[in-house]
């Protein structure tokens, strides 16, 4: 007897439809799985057999079950196919006769006792299910809140194989969950209270101003200064002033974390912009993504958030240069012999480093012991093309004595957050009839349209670019920064003072700290 049920597989961060076909014929009681399964799927035959037995179903000993996972030319990975395989075998054997079985998609791992365990990647599966026009999805109970984020779905949480059988036999008598993603996002954002505040940081007003510009326009930034000047402390407070996530952004981020298996709470949605700070000993696969079982890397886990590279010059140069394409496109493409995967990576890069190996080059209090050759070799780890893609180059100097001993009168993060949100709203109004992008993401045509300056200001900008030896890319990036500064000042037009401030954040290839 033949049976077919539907499930879903994942490639990268996107899901696609899988047909689980089972043919029951004479044989020696064996379950044989084809369709490019990995080891975890091949082992599922034993889990499925024990789970079916735990539900008091007896598989006929003189039968053989051929399980085909179609399409057969894509590799299938993970234990998420246990549940659809078990249901298809029960249908092919004649234990489960239902006209509604093909109205559902199923996903879940089975325990030997018939329990249904949670799996990774339920959010993209739910998205694919809704896009395919299917409204009913059966998922493990611990994954139900993830699937519930997708509008237009009826989600059926299950905890045991027998419960799934009863559901398919009587679908109209079973309660289901409706989508509540938007309400959940608002509730989570309302409860988000960051304890890191800019009021804790003494001095460094120039760096705080630059971070405000970076947050408002999504401009990449590099901070250079001696040890203990507050670079890491400043960067850690940046997420507190970023604009809140939109629902679509939160859904994209939750999908990434679902695939990576990093959702800390299966009932939660990613409600805040991520802040990822990988150590400089991280592998290239950990930073960019990929591996033998491809997973999103740190740059993708920073999507719609911040990637902070502390001690940036300690990262291998090849790792840093791998960031160049994602910084331009907002995507990272991983090509392997068997497949090509793309992960979203629209992150805000914040780098921090010392001016030299000892850390005190140009310091007014402590003498640098590095030779010019050592300092140049140290800076050679940051290539010119990478620095060219970093909009803001900021000097973070040692605090003066009066700043250390005086009363802390720094503005709180709430002050900067209001400025950022107001600037972002102006950008949204500018793109009212088009897809919204931050100023730092404007393409060439949009720069010409939205970053116009008068003739005198343009001549000043051209002179500055020529004298500093900057590239054509840097020319456009200065205009983008000036556009963000104008938005922060509630100015419809870019003024000369805005361009002058933007130019002050651009340095030569080797940022100076003296």
Measured between alpha carbons, how far is 316 from 298 in angstroms, rounded to an integer? 15
pLDDT at 267: 56
Taking residues 77-82, what's their average pLDDT?
Answer: 92
Asked if residue 71 has a cis previous peptide bond (ω within 30° of 0), the answer is yes
* Measured CA distances, 508 to 253, 384, 410, 511 (Å): 35, 9, 30, 6
Query: What pTM was computed for the model?
Result: 0.89
| Coil, helix or strand at residue 228 | coil
CA distances from 219 to 22, 306, 392 (A): 53, 11, 7
Full set of structural domains in the chain with CATH: 2-179 (3.30.230.10), 194-433 (3.40.50.300)
- CA separation for the pair 16, 208 (Å, rounded): 45
pLDDT one-digit tens code per residue, 180-223: 888 888 888 887 766 788 888 888 889 999 999 999 999 999 99
33-37, 303-307, 459-463: which has the highest mean pLDDT? 303-307
Provide the pLDDT for residue 314. 92
Round to whole Å and give the CA distance between 182 and 254.
Answer: 13
Element (H, E) at 469: none
Q: Please give the pLDDT value at position 509.
A: 46
List the beta strands (DSSP E) in 153-310.
Answer: 154-158, 221-224, 275-276, 289-290, 295-296, 306-310
Q: Which residues on neighbouring strands pair with residue 20, listed in sequence order?
A: 5, 69
- Where would I find the H helices in 246-352? 247-260, 284-288, 298-301, 317-321, 324-329
Q: Retrieve residue 96's tokens.
A: 């489960």
Q: What is the mean pLDDT of residues 448-461?
A: 91
The residue ranges of DSSP E strands in 330-483, in sequence order, are 331-335, 340-344, 348-353, 392-395
Instruction: Give residue-wise pLDDT tens across range 167-181.
Output: 999 888 788 888 888
Q: What is the pLDDT of residue 406?
A: 64
Checking if the pLDDT of 438 tops 70, the result is yes
**HEC secondary structure over 64-86:** EEEEEEECCCCCECCCCCHHHHH
203 three-class SS: coil
Are the beta carbons of 488 and 502 closer than 8 angstroms? no
Q: Give the model confidence (pLDDT) of 110-128 as tens digits.
A: 999 999 999 999 999 999 9
- Selection from 464, 419, 387, 417 nearest residue 220 by Cα: 387
Q: Are 289 and 334 within 8 A, CB to CB?
A: yes
| pLDDT tens digits along 312-363 | 999 999 999 999 999 999 999 888 777 788 999 999 999 999 989 998 888 8
Question: What is the SS3 assignment for 357?
Answer: coil
């Amino acid at each position: 007897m033949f049976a077919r049920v539907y499930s879903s597989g994942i490639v990268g961060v996107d899901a696609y439809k899988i047909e689980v076909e089972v043919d029951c014929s004479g044989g020696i009681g064996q379950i044989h799985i084809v369709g490019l399964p990995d080891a975890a799927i091949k082992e599922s035959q034993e889990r499925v057999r024990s789970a079916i037995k735990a539900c008091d179903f007896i598989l006929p000993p003189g039968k053989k079950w051929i399980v085909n996972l179609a399409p057969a030319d894509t590799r299938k990975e993970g234990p998420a196919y246990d549940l659809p395989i078990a249901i298809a075998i029960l249908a092919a054997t004649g234990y489960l006769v239902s006209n509604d079985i093909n109205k559902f998609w199923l996903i879940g791992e089975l325990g030997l006792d018939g329990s249904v365990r949670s799996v990774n990647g339920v959010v993209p599966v739910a998205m694919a299910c809704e896009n395919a026009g299917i409204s009913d999805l059966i998922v493990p109970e611990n994954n139900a809140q993830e699937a519930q984020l997708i509008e237009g779905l009826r989600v059926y949480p299950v905890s045991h194989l027998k419960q799934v059988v009863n559901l398919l036999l009587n679908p109209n008598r079973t309660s289901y969950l409706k989508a509540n993603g938007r309400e959940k996002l608002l509730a989570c954002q309302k409860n988000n209270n960051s304890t890191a505040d800019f009021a804790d940081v003494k001095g460094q007003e120039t760096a705080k101003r630059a971070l405000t510009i970076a947050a408002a326009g999504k401009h990449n930034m590099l901070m250079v200064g001696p040890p203990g000047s507050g670079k890491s402390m400043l960067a850690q407070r940046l997420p507190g002033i970023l604009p809140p996530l939109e629902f679509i952004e939160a859904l994209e981020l939750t999908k990434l974390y679902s695939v990576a298996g990093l959702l800390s709470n299966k009932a939660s949605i990613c409600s805040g912009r991520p802040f990822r700070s990988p150590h400089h000993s991280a592998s290239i696969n950990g930073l960019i993504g990929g591996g033998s079982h491809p997973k999103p890397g740190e740059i993708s886990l920073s999507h719609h958030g911040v990637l902070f590279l502390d001690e940036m010059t300690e990262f291998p140069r090849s790792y840093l240069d791998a960031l160049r394409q994602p910084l331009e496109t907002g995507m990272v493409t991983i090509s392997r012999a068997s497949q090509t995967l793309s992960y979203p990576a629209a992150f805000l890069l914040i780098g921090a480093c010392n001016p030299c190996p000892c850390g005190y080059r140009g310091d007014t209090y402590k003498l640098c012991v590095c030779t010019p050759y050592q300092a140049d070799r140290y800076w050679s780890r940051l290539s010119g093309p990478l620095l060219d893609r970093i909009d803001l180059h900021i000097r973070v100097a040692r605090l003066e004595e009066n700043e250390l001993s005086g009363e802390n009168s720094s503005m709180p993060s709430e002050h900067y957050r209001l400025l950022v949100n107001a600037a972002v709203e102006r950008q949204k109004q500018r793109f009212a009839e088009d897809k919204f992008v931050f100023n730092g993401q404007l393409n060439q045509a949009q720069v010409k349209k939205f970053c116009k300056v008068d003739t005198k200001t343009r001549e000043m900008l051209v002179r500055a670019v020529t004298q500093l030896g900057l590239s054509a890319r840097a020319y456009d990036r200065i205009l983008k920064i000036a556009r963000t500064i104008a938005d922060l000042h509630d100015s419809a037009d870019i003024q000369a003072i805005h361009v002058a401030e933007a130019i002050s954040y651009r340095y030569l290839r080797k940022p100076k700290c003296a």
